[in-house]
């Protein structure tokens, strides 16, 4: 089964002020969500988990393959004004959020761009909704807010002012994140950090 609606991505609104980003709703094809819900990794702890630390079903594996495919990447390249082909990538998955997650931050310079595809059934309230921000101090100084419902996709280029975060939320918060890195060593360090964190969290109560 094909899971990604490429046309939705091609026609997504692209913004460049104060940094390049796009938001696409309905990225998943009709009928895809039940299979992806069934095959999503069983994650019982907060944090980001590398794919190597997870078990998941075939539908989720096929979705990942599509998100990493050259056609998908080419659309993002054009939208974000950035060469991504051949770049090292770090793919992680989140299943749970803690109330202390989501503080305003900017990604490290080892990252070129980030993309998130949300896989939550429904969402209520402001907590946990990603906010792209104009600065590092005010969570309400919002450029755009992204409802994390299934099929909503956001991608942005890392710049010196690509601030983002979300209001506190505790509970299930499912998404896949892809980071394009400056080089393979940076990707390896990013995944190793999340791999170690994942193993610690599985041994310690949170």
Residue 91 contacts residue 178 (beta carbons within 8 Å): yes
Residue 4 contacts residue 72 (beta carbons within 8 Å): yes
Tens-place pLDDT, residues 12-44: 989 999 999 999 999 999 999 999 999 999 998
d(C-alpha 190, C-alpha 181), whole Å: 9
Q: How far is 171 from 98, CA to CA, in rounded Å?
A: 7
pLDDT tens for 131-158 read 999 999 999 999 999 999 999 999 999 9
Q: How much is the pTM?
A: 0.94
How would you classify the pairing of strands 153-157 and 21-24? Answer: antiparallel
Task: Report whether pLDDT(195) > 90.
Answer: no
Which structure tokens are listed for 39? 């095959």
For the chain, the first-to-last Cα distance in angstroms comes to 37
User: 58 vs 195, which has greater pLDDT?
Assistant: 58
Structure confidence by residue, pLDDT tens digits, 168-192: 999 999 999 999 999 999 999 898 8
Q: Is the pLDDT of residue 199 over 70?
A: no
**pLDDT over 90 at 161, yes or no:** yes
Helix (H) / strand (E) element for 114: namely strand 111-118
pLDDT surpassing 60 at residue 205 = no
Asked whether residue 202 carries a pLDDT value surpassing 80, the answer given is no
DSSP state, residue 40: S
**Residue 21: Cβ within 10 Å count:** 27
Average pLDDT on 84-91 reads: 95
Digit-coded pLDDT (tens) for 44-75: 899 999 999 999 999 999 999 999 999 999 99
Per-residue pLDDT reduced to its tens digit, 99-138: 999 999 999 999 999 999 999 998 988 899 999 999 999 9
Are 91 and 51 in contact by the 8 Å Cβ rule? The answer is yes
- The reported pLDDT for the residue numbered 198 is 65
Residue 206 predicted with pLDDT over 60: no
Q: CA angle, 161 as apex, 188 and 172 as ends, to 5°?
A: 60
């Amino acid at each position: 089964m094909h899971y990604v609606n490429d046309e939705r991505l091609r026609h997504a609104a692209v913004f460049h002020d104060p940094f390049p980003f796009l938001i696409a709703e309905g990225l998943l094809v009709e009928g895809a969500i039940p299979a992806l819900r069934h095959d999503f990794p069983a994650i019982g702890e907060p944090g980001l988990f590398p794919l190597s630390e997870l078990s998941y079903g075939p539908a989720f594996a096929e979705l990942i393959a599509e998100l990493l495919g050259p056609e998908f990447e080419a659309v993002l390249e054009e939208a974000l004004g950035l060469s991504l082909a051949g770049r090292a990538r770090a793919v992680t998955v989140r299943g749970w959020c803690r109330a202390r997650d989501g503080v305003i931050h900017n990604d490290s310079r080892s990252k070129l761009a980030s993309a998130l595809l949300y896989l939550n059934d429904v969402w209520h309230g402001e907590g946990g909704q990603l906010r792209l921000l104009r600065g590092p101090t005010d969570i309400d100084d919002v450029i755009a807010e992204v409802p994390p419902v299934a099929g909503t996709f956001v991608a942005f280029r890392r710049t010196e002012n690509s601030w983002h975060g979300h209001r506190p939320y505790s509970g299930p918060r499912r998404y896949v994140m892809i980071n394009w890195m400056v080089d393979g060593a940076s990707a390896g360090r990013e995944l190793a950090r999340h791999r170690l964190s994942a193993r610690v969290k599985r041994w310690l109560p949170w």
